[in-house]
A and B are shown apart, each in its own frame.
Chain A
Amino acid sequence: MKKSIGFASAILVLFCLGFAWRDVQNGKLPDPAAFQKLVGISRPAPLSPAQEFKSAYNRIQTAYYRPVKPLELKYAGIGGMMASLGDPHTMFLVPQVAKKFDMDTKANYVGVGARLSTYSIAGKVIGAKAVVVFDDGPGFAAGLRRGDVITAVDGKSIASQAIEDIVDKIMGEEGTIVKLSILRDGKGTLVIPVRRSHVVTPTVESQYFKDSRVGYIFIASFSAPTAEQFDKELEKVERNPLKGLVIDVRGNPGGYLETAVDLLSRFRANKVVVSMKMRDGSLNHEYTSPGLEHNFSYPVVILINGDSASAAEIFSGALRDYKMATLVGTHSYGKASVQEVYDFKDGSSGKITIARYYLPLNSDIGRKVDEDGTYISGGLEPDVEVEPADVLPEDLQANPANKDSDLPDPALDNQLRKAIEVVLQKAG
């Protein structure tokens, strides 16, 4: 009798072990709620977070009075979950956005090699204008020129379409042909066949101001090919007699930290770029590499504004901390964190903040906002502050500048004027 009681209780213990095995596996204590459910105590256990999500997901689809696309709803939910951390840089990217983000950071894609913007007449979109045609792209080789307006792709009109959709149609598999119908100088319909190929987006552009003998380099983003492109443009600029250099990172949203480190290695070797504080509290230091230093024998001014963020701020802030540059413009965005991007198998991505960083002189440039999201502080403060002057939209200008380049003109850009002035002052 005693024996069978012992045996029964042993069985019971083993049963409990099996029941709680999942918790044990996950290194947790057995969950009492599960046991309660087992013996039928019907205290309605609160929904688990996953159940809460699932039940709202189901309910919205069945109870909301309009049809809802399940995929979009799911993505909205995941987006909301990632946004709930209150960090504007931790976010979910739906496949379409993820693809674009990836192309932008890699600055490498298959296409024709042109930058397009919608072109409309009297408020009606009639096509896409090639704002820039990359010199080494397949479009340029096939005869596509800056200012051409694409009105049809493969014979199909693209009137009144969104620029993203137009771009989607023009891009495609490497080696395939896309036929672009072109409106040039407002007349004629030219059809240019272009063989799609790998295109590396120029992220660095330069110009030389003869009258002031100042060089100008614009960095659009810190993408994969940026450091190499910077070297090329720097060489171009340095072919001229140089009193100083203006590097423009206004509107530069950042990119790879590695690229910023690479670029800074042109200026100083073996220097701390940033100290990253990881989630476990440890500090990681990023250093510039040796052997890449370039001799900057002239003063450097960096132009920044509220849209200069992330790697652009690291680049500008570190150079100032090395006492190698003066910052001109308005305060930068103030992004003091590092993100990692995780690609999911349905094509979407998650961008997650994994660390915070500090600049070489230990400054925290983290952006502070009030509860309404209005900027309070943060970002790099410029050494010389210049607010941009108001410029009329092109449509309203009496004599719209008919420029060959989309680079800024000191005559129209007061911040650039100031930067040149400062660089000349430093040059003495």
Chain B
Amino acid sequence: MTSEVRRSLQAAAGVFVCIVAIGFGAVLRDKVELSGTKLDISNLVASRTGTTELPETKFFDDIMDLLKKKYVDPINDDRKLADGAVRGMVASLGDPNSLFMDPEQFKVYDNVRKGKYEGIGADVVLVRDRPQGKVQISGEEDSDEGNSRLPKLMIAAVVPGSAADRAGLKAGDWAEFVDDHWIPNSDALDRFEKLFNDVKAHTAKVEDFVKMRKQLRDEEEKHILPIKARDRLMIGAAGTVRTVWVRGDKRITAILGKGEWQMPAFGKETDGAIRLPFVADSAAKLKEALSGKTEATIDLRGNVEGDFDAMTECLDVVAPKGTYGFLVTRRSEKPSPLIVKDGSSAKLKLTLLVDRTTRGVSEIFALALSSRGLAKLSGPPTAGNQAVVRWFALPDGAGYSLVTSEYRPNAPSGALARAPGSVETPFQHEALSPTAGSAIAPDKGARTR
């Protein structure tokens, strides 16, 4: 072989290796990065190919591109768009326990789960109550779809010593006005609808109707969404907030100073009961407090926000190995058992102090133990909310909560034994017939064609 041939072969090999290097680099880049390539808007815009469903990530990318190219103001923050998308998806669930939170809200409500409160010092939650006339079982909450009633902003628990406590507010009170803004509620709309029908039936005066319509319109003009009103009550440690609460037929007006408040942490109360918030180190502390005991009282009142995993660890401290009910979903999947893996062998006589401020995770704890005869419940019915809520953080500090399952003490098959506080059978897919709720602007029905 002449050196010339060899050199040209070498050169060819070199070029080949170079091309391979570039190609390899590009391929590796694709592998390294999960998300797809940049796309042209022309893919998105209607084409001859007929209707095609657009895959979600591509759709998202393309519309983000379109917005960036066309929107009147420059868009510098892609993160805001992504957060907006997540907010939209979570909001579409229409579930008062599944909520999107911006970074500030996420921080505040995450602290609440650890017992650290801002605002008026009360845990205020969105609760969708049942339409009037519907039979209520012991609990009062219902998040059933098809229930078109507007959610109420209800106090779930009050921090002892807080502004809310000093004003005499109690769990179950719901907010009607916050800083002179009306929180639209279905009770008012029901009253309006009833009055309308009464006037039609000549059992009420037209003047009353006109008066109430004016009042509702004026209030509507200055309304605030419940979720925003909640922020005003629970975010910030300075200033005051003017409020009107409803308790039964009573109205309670209160000007509340905002501050920082602490739900009592784990510990013994004067009567010997153990207060048990469900936070990270609860199980270890509970174990220590119970060592050598044969009898104990655990106070689950004012226990509305807790961590599900911390609760199961506590269950492990007090209950023997076994299955303690099921986590069910309404998707077509098997209920997953709530299992205590190791368990405790100590024979404990447990009493659990409960009332309507025993909610969520603490309610699951109470039901799991009482349904197996391992604890006696003492007090009025619990809140009736056994939703398992998980929290998910987003890169910029925002986040969202999702109800991932509901707890049932018994296997959900056939006729389900109704446990105290349980509100519904788990596999009722049919939506309740929604009651007409919006009556403020009558006669808006005319539609083209």
Contact = CB atoms under 8 A, between A and B. Distances in A.
A50 B446 contact: no
Interface string B162-175: 00000000000000
B22 A17 contact: yes
Nearest to B75: A85
Given A81-B82, A340-B70, A17 B25 contact: yes
B379 interface: no
B88 A354 contact: no
Contact of B21 (A14, A52, A73, A345): A14
Chain A interface size, as a band, is: 35 or more
Contacts of B83: 52, 84
B53 A18 contact: no
Contact of B449 (A60, A81, A167, A374): A167
Contacts of B390: 63
B29 A21 contact: yes
A68 interface: yes
Contact of A345 (B47, B80, B445): B47
A170 B70 contact: no
A111 B448 CA distance: 11
A211 interface: no
Contacts of A14: 18, 21-22, 25
A37 B33 contact: yes
B418 interface: no
Interface string B208-241: 0110011000000111110010000000000000
Nearest to B145: A66
Nearest to B394: A52
Chain B interface size, as a band, is: 35 or more
Given A15-B25, A49-B78, A344-B54, A396 B206 contact: yes
Interface string A302-323: 0000000000000000000000
B74 A49 contact: no
Interface stretch (A232-240, A266-274, A287-295, A387-395): A387-395
Contacts of B447: 115-117, 163-164, 167
Contact of A68 (B21, B80, B93): B93
A259 interface: no
A80 B85 CA distance: 4
Contact of A60 (B50, B90, B199, B214): B90
Contacts of A404: none
B448 A59 contact: no
A48 B443 CA distance: 47
B361 to A, nearest CB: 15
Contacts of A111: 449
A180 to B, nearest CB: 12
A65 B82 contact: no
A160 to B, nearest CB: 10
Contact of B89 (A73, A112, A167, A171): A73
A156 to B, nearest CB: 18
Contact of A84 (B25, B57, B81): B81
Contacts of A85: 67, 71, 73, 75, 81, 84
Given A84-B81, A164-B447, 7 more contacts: A18-B24, A49-B82, A67-B332, A73-B89, A80-B87, A85-B67, A117-B445
11 contacts: A64-B403, A64-B404, A73-B89, A74-B59, A78-B59, A84-B83, A117-B445, A278-B72, A350-B66, A354-B70, A354-B72
5 nearest A-B residue pairs (beta carbon): A80-B88, A84-B84, A18-B25, A76-B92, A18-B22
